[in-house]
A and B are shown apart, each in its own frame.
Chain A
């Protein structure tokens, strides 16, 4: 029920809000896809640091094939996703042998390798200025998708579809196997779960949707450059996911909503913003290990206990 009200709200929103806020809302949708696809990988306990770069691979691929080869935008976006998925699997395959810190550092290293190649190779990636004049989405059935409100609904639809697919995966046997691997890898392997294959599967699916998010971004901005996908952006992604919480499906959505709203509201305090966000992540890690979502479920549980059994409290 709250979901339906929320959906109606989201559908009415662009007709009442300022154009700027509609643009901001689109970024929320893109970030939610990004954070949610990252969480899928996190359920296997692979906190890799190249997710933002896969988002970039989707953006560059989709933008470049649409611009250079004239591929229709609505086809270029899933192709960008497929490319990001392939790159993710290709990066992860050799890293399956690394453990612990080695894994994180290697993921960061390979991510920088890809990002720097965008920066260094003017041809075809355009170097530090990136690529401009990326095609807008076309007009279909009289609706011009390059305009704000139609693109808002397009990205909302994509986000809902992605969330639906990820939700189904989360609540399937495959999703349970992912969690089993992160809880006890030895036990999981002893029951026949092929761990390397599941890690690759998670990063393939997660990479695909990160690429989709990149495609959505690039065809709205009409341009792309390497700065969008640097380590700072990766840290913001980590902050959304950690602050929101990763235990349930809703955590990253809450994380993006809360933190990105704070981000928007703190525009006047731009000098202290990075410090504020870094501090918020550290504090959440220390005092609220389940994230905001964990806090909410704790409060709800306490409230229920108080109302079910008024006597049996310590």
Chain B
């Protein structure tokens, strides 16, 4: 069953087509890789799906055909579609735990009234318990009271995923989760992504590290100049002429 469906999606910036008539169907429970050269429109695709940009044309359907294109980012997140950012987006002055608790906004049913009469304590305790679970799950348990700004890069990226998980998503968009990592950190992050996937979360992932994409993803879509070049299983993509010509190039694929 498809959980996310993109139909005829276009997004123009001035005269430039960042996305041009894209069709995508993501099945529930899959890990989908989105690859393509720089400027192919991968991040724009994520920004349109997550509501940062309105599409110029086309529709996005999520969960049994609900239309989500043009909705506010916070609404889309509330429906269970969370994302991470290509840049390391964290609340640097918050502790690890607070980064995650504040991201549990949708589940912290707190109002000014409940705050003043004091019924908020119970909600807050539950909220912190859930956040701690997520922090542990992402392997950050020993760092819960550390400020985000003090974490090494690998942990910061893991915290970015933890923040997205705090929304209890059904679909998770990962924008270059492995960027800037050393091999150890990469291996660790790949394990984490697998673990997240095992929780039943559908994953859509933009990544440049070909080796990891081939290893992780069930199915791959290749973008080029804002259009969908080709889709297929990792093995098909690796041997596809057009992909090799535009993107994978010659030798430097294997090294990633």
Contact = CB atoms under 8 A, between A and B. Distances in A.
Contacts of A173: 101-102, 105, 108, 110, 120, 124, 127
20 contacts: A172-B110, A173-B102, A176-B101, A177-B102, A179-B91, A180-B91, A183-B92, A184-B89, A186-B73, A186-B85, A187-B90, A189-B77, A191-B77, A191-B163, A192-B78, A192-B167, A193-B74, A193-B105, A194-B74, A194-B75
Interface in A184-216: 184, 186-187, 189-195, 201, 205
B166 A169 contact: no
A132 interface: no
Contact of A187 (B85, B108, B116, B120): B85
A195 B74 contact: yes
Contacts of A174: 110, 112, 115
A194 B74 CA distance: 5
Question: Majority SS of interface residues in chain A?
Answer: helix
A191 B105 contact: yes
Contacts of A186: 52, 73, 85, 89
Interface residues of B, number: 36
A74 B167 CA distance: 44
Among all A-B residue pairs, the 10 with the closest Cβ atoms: A191-B103, A192-B77, A192-B106, A189-B73, A187-B89, A176-B102, A194-B74, A173-B108, A173-B110, A192-B78
A251 to B, nearest CB: 15
Nearest to B77: A192
Highest count of chain B CB atoms <10 Å: which of A168, A172, A176, A191: A191
A165 interface: yes
B42 interface: no
B157 interface: no
Given A187-B91, A187-B163, A177 B120 contact: no
B236 interface: no
Given A169-B112, A172-B120, A191-B77, 17 more contacts: A169-B115, A173-B101, A173-B102, A173-B108, A173-B120, A176-B102, A177-B102, A180-B102, A190-B73, A190-B85, A191-B82, A191-B103, A191-B104, A191-B164, A194-B75, A201-B112, A205-B112
Contacts of A183: 91-94
B32 interface: no
Q: Which of B50, B77, B120, B124 has the most CB of A within 10 A?
A: B77
A271 B83 CA distance: 57
A189 B91 contact: no
